[in-house]
């Protein structure tokens, strides 16, 4: 599925694993590509799409360290792809299966080659990507902003209809409220590419209007409306 009409690059979306986690390929044809997250098996299609456009993959970036986003990151690394992630999730990267004893497959620890920080710029085939550190869902969650295109990859920080799950020990509701307020400031036409589910826009996410008042946002979450589950099934578990 082609997700952008930018003349400069293509965004393709692949879905893998029991939580229907998204893997994106941002492909600059004839130049370079980046793969965002590595859910189970989905990255294979992303690499094939990049190869097809003669755009070698420069980086496999984890939006955060949750197991469903890094399931196959070590496999990609073993194939020679460089990995990137925020060091605040280093505990999750080192032990992605911690507290997940029920998983029917093994997830290898991920070694991060490129440590991301807020304000970093990545250049992929000449396309500038700004890294935003958006803690809350996890301490090391990041979003990726493409200036001039109004495109934001949001991981599990911001999903269609709500924010990511907050009930794991690595979650922090107040930090997430701060991060959501920051994202709500982006232009209303910004397209959001989340870690689960369909793309959306800032304008469509009308609940973000509440984000200006941190108390309102936290109350909203306490009412249980922050949860998001895969449509039509999947494991009934946190993402
Ligand atoms: Zn997730
Ligand atoms: Zn997550």
User: pLDDT tens-digit profile of 100-117?
Assistant: 878 888 999 999 999 999
Q: Which ligand is nearest to the CA of 164?
A: 2
Q: Is residue 80 part of a domain?
A: yes
The alpha carbon of 30 and the centre of ligand 2 are apart by a number of angstroms equal to 32
> Which residue segment(s) compose the domain that 31 sits in?
10-222
| Whole-number Å distance between alpha carbons of 16 and 27 | 19
Which pLDDT score is estimated for 225?
52
Outline where DSSP puts E strands in 175-223: 191-194, 200-201
> Can you tell me the mean pLDDT for 47-64?
98
Tell me which of 122 and 176 has the higher pLDDT: 122
- How many domains, in total, are found in the chain? 1
> For residues 35 and 46, is the Cβ–Cβ distance under 8 A?
yes
Average of per-residue pLDDT across 13-33: 96
How far from 107 is each of 20, 190, 215, CA to CA, in Å? 16, 34, 38
Enumerate residues with CB within 5 Å of ligand 2 (an ion): 66, 156
| 21 alpha carbon – ligand 1 mean position (Å) | 6
Provide the token pair at 189.
Answer: 């036409």
Q: Please list, in sequence order, all residues whose beta carbon lies within 8 angstroms of the beta carbon of residue 88, skipping any fewer than 6 positions away.
A: 133, 135, 138, 139, 140
Q: What is the pLDDT of residue 207?
A: 79
Split at pLDDT 50, 70, 90, the class of 214 is low
Whether 232 shows a pLDDT value over 70: the answer reads no
18 torsion bin: left (phi>0), alpha (psi -120 to 50), beta (else): alpha
Residue 16 covered by a domain:
yes
Establish if 238 belongs to a structural domain: no
Lowest mean pLDDT among 57-66, 101-110, 114-123, 132-141: 101-110
Report the pLDDT value the prediction gives residue 233, as an integer from 0 to 100: 34
User: Can you tell me whether residue 179 is helix, strand or coil?
Assistant: helix
Q: Residue 78 Cα, ligand 1 centroid: separation in angstroms?
A: 23
pLDDT tens-digit map of 152-198 = 999 999 988 888 877 777 888 888 888 988 999 999 999 999 999 99
In this predicted structure, the answer to whether residue 43 has a pLDDT above a threshold of 80 is yes
Q: Quick one: CA dihedral 68, 181, 178, 218, positive or negative?
A: negative
For residue 138, the ligand closest to its alpha carbon is: 2
Ligand 2 center from residue 113 Cα (angstroms): 21
Residue 237 in domain: no
Centroid of ligand 2 to alpha carbon of 238 (angstroms): 8
Q: How far is the CA of 30 from the centre of ligand 1 (A)?
A: 31
CA–centroid distance, residue 31 to ligand 2 (Å): 30
CATH of residue 37's domain is 3.60.15.10
Q: Which two tokens stand for residue 76?
A: 């990609």
What is the chain's mean pLDDT, rounded? 88
Residue 224 confidence (pLDDT):
58
Q: Is the pLDDT of residue 237 over 70?
A: no
Select the more confidently predicted residue: 153 or 216.
Answer: 153
How far apart CA 98 and CA 114 sit, in angstroms, is 23
Distance 142 CA to ligand 2 centre (A): 11
CA–centroid distance, residue 229 to ligand 1 (Å) = 10
Distance 156 CA to ligand 1 centre (A): 6
How many whole angstroms separate alpha carbon 15 and alpha carbon 10?
A: 17
pTM above 0.95, yes or no: no
Residue 68 Cα to ligand 1 midpoint, Å, equals: 6
Alpha carbons 157 and 199: distance in angstroms, whole number = 13
Distance from the alpha carbon of residue 31 to the mean position of ligand 1, in angstroms: 29
Query: Cα of 37 to ligand 1 centre, how many Å?
Result: 10
Residue 227 maps to a domain: no
Buried b (16+ CB within 10 A) or exposed e, 65-80: bbbbbbbbbbbbbeee
Bigger pLDDT: 104 vs 232: 104
What is the Å distance from ligand 2's center to 68 Cα? 7
* pLDDT confidence of residue 229: 37
Question: In the predicted model, is pLDDT for residue 1 greater than 80?
Answer: no
Q: What is the pLDDT of residue 4?
A: 74
Range from 70-79, 86-95, 224-233 carrying the lowest mean pLDDT = 224-233
């Amino acid at each position: 599925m082609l997700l952008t009409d930018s003349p400069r690059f293509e965004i393709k979306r692949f879905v893998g694993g029991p939580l229907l986690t998204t893997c994106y390929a941002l492909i600059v044809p004839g130049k370079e590509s980046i793969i965002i997250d590595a859910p189970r098996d989905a990255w294979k299609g992303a690499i094939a799409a990049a190869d097809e456009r003669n755009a070698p993959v420069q980086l496999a970036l984890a939006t955060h360290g949750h197991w469903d986003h890094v399931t196959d990151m070590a496999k990609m690394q073993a194939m020679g792809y460089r990995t990137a992630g925020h060091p605040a999730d280093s505990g999750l990267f080192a032990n992605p299966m911690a507290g997940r004893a029920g998983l029917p497959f093994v997830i290898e620890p991920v070694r991060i080659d490129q440590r991301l920080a807020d304000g970093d710029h990545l250049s992929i085939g000449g396309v500038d990507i700004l890294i935003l550190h958006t803690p809350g869902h996890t301490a090391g969650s990041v979003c990726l902003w493409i200036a001039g295109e109004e495109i934001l990859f949001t991981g599990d920080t911001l999903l269609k209809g709500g924010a990511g799950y907050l009930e794991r020990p690595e979650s922090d509701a107040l930090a997430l409220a701060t991060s959501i307020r920051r994202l709500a400031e982006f232009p209303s036409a910004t397209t959001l590419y989340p870690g689960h589910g369909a793309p959306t826009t800032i304008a469509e996410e009308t609940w973000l209007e509440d984000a200006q008042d941190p108390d309102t946002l936290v109350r909203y979450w306490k009412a249980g409306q922050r949860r998001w589950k895969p449509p039509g099934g999947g494991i009934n578990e946190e993402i």
